[in-house]
Structure 1
């Protein structure tokens, strides 16, 4: 798998916490919209998150989709990977996010485990304007080709 673009700026003298994660790009074909997670602060993300110890990228994405949006998913295709440097507004730590993105189909819906998040459907172009992370925007744009 080819490693794709790097987003954000790596600042000299800063120690970054590396976080590897996997994220789902899920389309609702009948309305042409993509699934996003909206957190309590009103920030938008792709469904997914950090890998737990001894968890594969695929296991991570399946777990995170159930936790965040209540979808069991079928992983169809890897879009690619991208890296982003950023500082968290929550704890002010610096992170190096190594993210892997997959096009997924939803198989079944249940109640999400995390009640603080909201599932939002949005047109892909609008989603690229709302998403917090640049590498999430990159994944949506690359899923359209």
Structure 2
């Protein structure tokens, strides 16, 4: 799937990333809010890092919880421009799972973990690819 507006003749830096769709049975989803914008837990892969390893590391850094991976949801490319003006193509892979044991405080003070109703989360998620992944996971009953 492809999301965002790709501007012709603009160079987009490719960013490999992985994200967690964590749903509760009452149809709430885990969202990380940073500077008023919502994102699924996850982020960029480090050089040579496997997707599952990166997802567990990112979830730990952002939430303090151990992430227990369940199933693959899908892949999406998101084209956008950062606040700093850089053009990125976020090459994202999405997985369902759950949070296990809480083991430490999140690394970043500006990251807040919220549980939101699915419809409300769709309004705050910054990337349309994240909304797509949440809806796809809900439809498939993968969480």
Superposition deviation, residue 108 in structure 1: 0.9
2:9 is equivalent to residue 7 of structure 1:
no
Of 68, 76, 84, the residue aligned with 1:82 is: 76
Verify: 1:45 aligned to 2:39, yes or no. Answer: yes
Q: Counterpart of 1:127? A: 121
What's the C-alpha RMSD, in Å, of the aligned pairs?
0.9
Determine helix, strand or coil for the equivalent of 2:23: strand
User: How many residue pairs were aligned?
Assistant: 138
Q: Deviations over 1:35-59 (max 9, x none)?
A: 00011x2111000000001101101
Q: Which runs of 5+ in 2 are unaligned?
A: none
Q: Secondary structure at the match of 1:92?
A: coil
Deviation string 1:100-132 (CA, Å, 9 cap, x unpaired) is 000011111132122221001001111111100
Partner of 1:34: 29
Indicate whether 1:108 and 2:104 are aligned: no
Deviation string for 1:38-81 (max 9, x for gaps)? 11x21110000000011011011000000001110111000000
- The answer to whether residue 91 in structure 2 is matched with residue 98 in structure 1 is yes
Shift in Å, 1:28: 2.4
TM-score by length of 1: 0.92
Rounded Cα–Cα distance in structure 1 between residues aligned with 2:11 and 2:97 = 34
Q: Secondary structure at 1:28's aligned position in 2?
A: coil
After TM superposition, the score normalised by the length of structure 2 is 0.93
